[in-house]
């Protein structure tokens, strides 16, 4: 299994989301409204997705994390 750092995965996700006019943000502390990771629409500045989920799940849904890759520190 190939290990991908969380920072590298966030960059991959943001490159993919940029095509849709969105960006993944990471909260400094967990909140019930946003969770750890949330997605913002760049055109309106509005919250597009709160609680975007674990990075590995989001990465696989977007197709930027392959089946043979895992997330490390």
- In 1-73, which ranges are continuous DSSP H helix? 6-18, 55-62
User: pTM above the 0.95 mark?
Assistant: no
Coil, helix or strand at residue 33: coil
73 pLDDT higher than 80 = no
Q: What angle do CA 51, 15, 6 make, to 5 degrees?
A: 55
pLDDT in tens, 26-66: 999 998 889 999 999 999 999 999 999 899 999 999 999 99
* Domain ranges within the chain, ordered by starting residue: 2-72
Q: What is the pLDDT of residue 4?
A: 96
Residue in 49, 48, 61 with CA at minimum distance from that of residue 16: 61
Separation in Å, CA 47 to CA 34, 38, 41, 64, 71: 9, 8, 6, 22, 25
């Amino acid at each position: 299994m190939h290990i991908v750092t969380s920072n590298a995965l966030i960059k991959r996700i943001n490159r993919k989301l940029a095509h849709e006019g969105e960006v993944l943000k990471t909260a400094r502390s967990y909140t019930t409204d946003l969770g750890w990771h949330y997605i913002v629409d760049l055109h309106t500045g509005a919250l597009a997705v709160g609680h975007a989920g674990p990075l590995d799940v989001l990465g696989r849904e977007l197709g930027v994390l392959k089946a043979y890759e895992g997330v490390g520190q």
